[in-house]
Every structure is written in C-alpha cells, then in structure tokens.
C-alpha cells in the first residue's frame, strides 16, 4: 500500500506546515520597513546591505522598503490554498537591536524587532530556536528575541532563560483536533558553540552534545512530562553540515530512536542549505534536511550544484489520534530578488529528479500529480500497540 494525501480538513487529521531555515536577519532585515544597524563583524563583509546588492546583481532591482508580505511571495498563496492547522519554522536569527555580538563567531544574524511583522504576515505559529544563530548577539539578544516573539503571540521552543525553559515544548492548540507539542534541539554538529547550552543558572538553547542513547532517554523523560493522551509530538532538530546529501548513520539511528523510544510522531530536521532525502519510518515522517527557506544568500557563488536557491514547503497531514503520517505534499519555491516565487518547470523537474534519487535510498517515492506540487509515497506498515497509543 502506498501513502497518499487526503485533501480534507476534518477533526481526525492535522495538517502541519514545516520548512527549513528562516533567516530574516542581515540582508533581509535591510530591505524591510525598519532596517536595523547594518554593521557586521564578518571577515569580508562589514555592511548587511551588501547582501541585498548581491541579490540585485543576480536577478534585478529590489524595491525598498518592502512590506511584510514581500519576502514570502508565492508562499502566501500556497498557505491560503492548503490552510495548514499550524505553521512551524526554524527561525535562524536573533530578533534584537543589541550590538553585543558573540566574539569568535564569524557570522551574526539579527532582525530589528520592529520588523517582526514579517512573521505575522506569514501567520507563523511557532519558531524553533535551538540553532547556531539565535545567540549571535549574546544573551541580551536572546532575551530580546524571546520577549519580541512572545509579545506578538508567536510560540517558541528550544531556547529559554534557563535549562527548563529551553527544554520545554511549544504547545499549539488545534481545537477539537487536539494539541501539537514542538520540542526543539540543537546539535553541536551544526556549528552551535557548546557555551550556548542553557542550564539552571544560564540562558541558552536546548543543546544536544551528542546523539547517544543517554540523550534519547533524557528526551523521552522530558516528553513524558509534558505529553497528554492524544498529543502529536514533533522533534525539531538542527543538525549536520550545510552541504551534501549523505545522511550520517548516527542521524538516522537517532531519528529512529526518537520514534521508537521517545514516541515522537515527526522528526523535523534542518541546517542543510539544500533539500535532502525523506524517510517514513514506522509510518512516521522524518525530514532529515528541509533546506533553506528564507535567506539572503542569493547571488553568493559556490555549491551551485546543490541548488540552494530552491526551497520546499512541506505540508504534512497527520492522523490526529495516533500521529501517523497520512500524506505529505510539497510545494517548490525559488528565491528571486529576496522573495519566494513559484519556479519554472525545469527547476521543479530538477527537484523531482534529485528527490527521486535521494528518497529512493530511504524507501520512499515521489509523484507530480499536478503542476508545481510533489507528493510523497511510501509503504504503510502495520504497527503494534505501544504504550497508550496505537503506533
């Protein structure tokens, strides 16, 4: 039997929107209505406005300032058409006016708190923060990031004012369908400094020092503390290098154990600058690398063979009572003038062929049932009862 998508909004399914890294800082911040201080401390670039100039050299003029909807472009039409119940992104920038950059780190992302309307324009419900940029502007920057997001009603996971807060999930209420719990983790393999780990006396992120069995047991205990019967649980993990399709054995084993032992329903992996292969394990979705979504990388040369300019919107439909994957529909987009646009047929075909190759290695398949829409297929497995849920 092959998994398929059911295009229906009922009380027994939850549609979750997921994507890769959303980097609204630096060059993106500078084209929005309230650009912050453009000063950078990078080895070669000292002014954030330079990244806008690179994008213009690649694809043409960018109007300034742009409104809050501009950067999302055609993604807004896709959200309106598919109407997901929740929208989850990995926000890979500090939302702050702090000038206290983290010394010894080459790249620092920040978006002015006055530009937070761009997240509201996309109706983002939850930002995962356990990544290698949320503390770019120090503890002061993290504090302002948390305050800014809370002020506008965007829930967060993966960072906090102490260890307990950083480990706590974002709880998303979807009415009669139940709740979605989002736990966010950051691995040192993505370049996160070990000093960023939150503890009893220090703010920071929910850091994974390794992908060991001991880490799984700690995660399992924490999930058990927060989970109620019928909750859908998402583990959002920032891990691995920026480039390359290979999925390390340790990552795959860790993802499987999150499902087997911690009873996670969906693994949302990110950090890679390009889309990677997709697995369905015990009827649970594993996204190993979602690729970048919103960035200011347009016009930067290098690694062109990975097509980092192509992004995917992931619309995962889950059974509300069991967390099983019902369907996954993906909408391709392309970065043009710091705006997401529907790509032409050749670009969609490139994505389809790449995913056909990489997903094939993980036992999943793809189809293109309609223009600009990719659908995942997999073999559905019969599962025994585990704990209080049929999994």
pLDDT tens digits, 47-77: 999 999 999 999 999 999 999 999 999 999 9
Contacts of 260 (CB under 8 A, 6+ apart): 282
Sign of the dihedral through C-alpha 124, 89, 389, 15: positive
Q: What is the pLDDT of residue 4?
A: 44
Which token pair is 200?
């009893």
CA distance 251 to 190: 12
Percent of the chain with pLDDT over 90: 93
- Specify the CATH number for 13-390; select among 3.40.640.10, 3.60.21.10, 3.90.950.10, 3.40.50.300: 3.60.21.10
CB 3 within 8 A of CB 71: no
Instruction: Please report, for the chain, the start and end positions of each structural domain, with discontinuous segments joined by +.
Output: 13-390
pLDDT exceeds cutoff 70 at 201 = yes
pLDDT exceeds cutoff 50 at 1 = no
Beta bridge pairs of residue 373: 370
Sign of the dihedral through C-alpha 209, 211, 214, 216: positive
pLDDT exceeds cutoff 60 at 8 = no
Q: Which of 273, 266, 306 is nearest to 289 (CA)?
A: 273
**Angle CA 72–150–314, to nearest 5:** 35
* Whole-model pTM over 0.85: yes
Region 355-369: mean pLDDT is 95
CB 230 within 8 A of CB 322: no
Which token pair is 41?
């401390």
Q: What is the pLDDT of residue 369?
A: 84
Q: What is the pLDDT of residue 5?
A: 43
Residue 60 Cα distances to 85, 157, 298, 362, angstroms: 36, 37, 11, 39
Region 375-389: mean pLDDT is 71
Q: What is the pLDDT of residue 381?
A: 74
Q: What is the pLDDT of residue 372?
A: 79
2: pLDDT confidence band, cut at 50, 70 and 90?
Answer: very low
Which token pair is 329?
């529909």
Q: What is the pLDDT of residue 386?
A: 47
Q: What is the pLDDT of residue 383?
A: 66
CB 179 within 8 A of CB 125: no
Please report the DSSP string for 19-86 in residue order.
EEEE--STHHHHHSSS----B---SS--BTHHHHHHHHHHH----SS--TTGGGTTHHHHHHHH--SE
Q: Tell me the average pLDDT of the chain.
A: 94
pLDDT exceeds cutoff 50 at 218 = yes
Residue 20 Cα distances to 227, 273, 276, 304, angstroms: 25, 8, 11, 18
């Amino acid at each position: 039997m092959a998994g398929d998508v059911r295009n229906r909004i009922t009380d027994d399914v939850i549609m979750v929107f997921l994507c890769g890294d959303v980097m609204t800082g630096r060059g993106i911040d500078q084209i929005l209505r309230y650009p912050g201080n453009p000063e950078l401390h990078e080895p070669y670039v000292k002014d954030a406005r330079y990244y806008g100039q690179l994008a213009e050299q690649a694809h043409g003029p960018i109007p300034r300032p742009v409104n809050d909807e501009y950067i999302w472009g055609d993604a807004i039409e896709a959200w309106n058409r598919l109407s997901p119940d929740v929208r989850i992104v990995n926000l890979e920038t500090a939302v702050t006016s702090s000038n206290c950059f983290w010394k010894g780190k080459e790249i620092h992302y920040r978006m002015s708190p006055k530009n937070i309307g761009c997240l509201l324009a996309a109706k983002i419900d939850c930002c995962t923060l356990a990544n290698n940029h949320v503390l770019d502007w120090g503890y002061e920057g993290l504090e302002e990031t948390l305050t800014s997001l809370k002020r506008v009603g965007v829930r967060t996971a993966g960072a906090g004012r102490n260890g307990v807060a950083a480990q706590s999930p974002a709880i998303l209420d979807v009415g009669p369908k139940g709740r979605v719990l989002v736990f966010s983790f950051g691995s040192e393999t993505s370049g996160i400094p070990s000093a960023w780990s939150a503890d009893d006396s220090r703010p920071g992120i929910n850091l994974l020092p390794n992908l060991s069995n001991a880490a799984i047991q700690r995660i399992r205990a924490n999930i058990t503390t927060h989970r109620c019967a019928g909750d859908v649980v998402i583990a959002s993990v920032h891990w691995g290098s920026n480039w390359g399709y290979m999925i390390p054995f340790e990552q795959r084993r860790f993802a499987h154990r999150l499902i087997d032992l911690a009873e996670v329903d969906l693994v949302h992996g990110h950090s890679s600058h390009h889309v990677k292969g997709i697995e369905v394990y015990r009827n649970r979705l594993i996204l190993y690398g979602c690729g970048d979504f919103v960035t200011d990388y347009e016009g930067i040369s290098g690694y062109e063979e990975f097509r980092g300019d192509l992004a995917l919107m992931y619309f995962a439909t889950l059974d509300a009572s069991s967390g099983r994957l019902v369907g996954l529909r993906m909408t391709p987009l392309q970065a043009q003038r710091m705006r997401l646009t529907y790509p032409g047929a050749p670009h969609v075909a490139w994505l389809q062929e790449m995913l056909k190759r990489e997903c094939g290695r993980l036992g999943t398949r793809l189809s293109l049932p309609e223009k600009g829409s990719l659908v995942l297929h997999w073999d559905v497995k019969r599962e025994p009862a585990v704990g209080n849920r049929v999994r």
